[in-house]
Amino acid sequence: MSLIEVKGLKKSYGNVHAVRGVDLTIAQGEIFSLLGPNGAGKTTTVEILEGFRTRDSGSVSVLGFDPQSRGHESREWRNRIGIVLQNSADAGDLTVLETIAHFSGYYSNPRNVDEVINAVGLVEKENALIRNLSGGQRRRLDVALGIIGNPELLFLDEPTTGFDPEARRSFWELIRDLRGNGTTIVLTTHYLDEAEALADRVAVINNGVIFEVSTPADLGGRATSAATISWRDGEIIRSEKSDTPTELVAQLSTHFGGEVPELIVSRPSLEDIYLDMIGGTHE
């Protein structure tokens, strides 16, 4: 069952065509990641799905509802979604616990406040004022406020900016747990390793159109693209591209009589593929 259906979505700001005909289908229970450089139309697309912006043309259905309609049904709809924005902060004069408990009062079936504080790892900071939190801790509070309503659909915009590696790992666990409970997640991120670790499917958007939608492993023909084999041959490191890497490794193994010195077999990373697609430069 698809939770989000977008057809022919267009949006311009004056002469700037930010979104030029986007089609998307996002299924229930998946983690769907939207990748694209700044100014690609990513934020506009997501903000239309979140009901923050209106569209010029095309059709959009999110949980069976048109996000740009207003009125009481829009409250019912917002009751079922959670949003973690890129830049949102509060004045900081409330504690973590007060803020989360207050937001839980907005929803009909909120999650348990202590459970959420625990899930985002803010137990030791629950009585700290928001103004005294570090950047990463504030971000975790943002996530807590996004999930407190027990949403069926969660939007995450650059959720782990400012996280240390350990916090990122535990955040990923949290997101996988949410999916495990049936939550659908739309993730926009600059970190390709994050998309690779979390997403069931990724879409690459550039210049207002979708380039490709696929699993992270298959994106841009990544799974079937040529592998690079490198090894040490005496003083020099040799490297060769091959469509049949196993065969080459077998030959090398015969040549060296067993172990191939410093053998590495690699395929292009998601980042290589992505940069190729958006016309970026390789290092």
Partner 1 sequence: MNKIPSAFSLGIRRGGLEIRQFARQRESVVFTLLFPVILLAIFGSVFKDTIAPNVTFSQYFLAGMIASGLVNTGFQALAITIPLERDFGALKRLRGTPMPASSYFIGKAILIFVSMVFQILLLLGFGILFFGVEMPTDISKWVTFSWLVLLGSACSTALGIAFSIVPKSGRGASAVVSPIVIILQFFSGVFFVFTQLPSWMQQVAAIFPLKWLTQGMRSVFLPDSFASQEVAKSWETSKTAAILVIWLIIGVFFSVRKFKWDRD
Binding positions for partner 1, rule: CB under 8 A: 50-52, 75-76, 78-79, 81, 83, 85, 87-91, 93-94, 98, 102-103, 105-109, 129, 145, 149
Minimum gap (Å) between residue 147 Cβ and partner 1: 12
Nearer Cβ to partner 1 (81/198): 81
Nearer Cβ to partner 1 (131/255): 131
Minimum gap (Å) between residue 129 Cβ and partner 1: 8
Minimum gap (Å) between residue 21 Cβ and partner 1: 23
Minimum gap (Å) between residue 90 Cβ and partner 1: 5
Nearer Cβ to partner 1 (113/204): 113
Nearer Cβ to partner 1 (89/237): 89
Minimum gap (Å) between residue 120 Cβ and partner 1: 16
Tell me the one-letter amino acid at 66. D
Nearer Cβ to partner 1 (94/213): 94
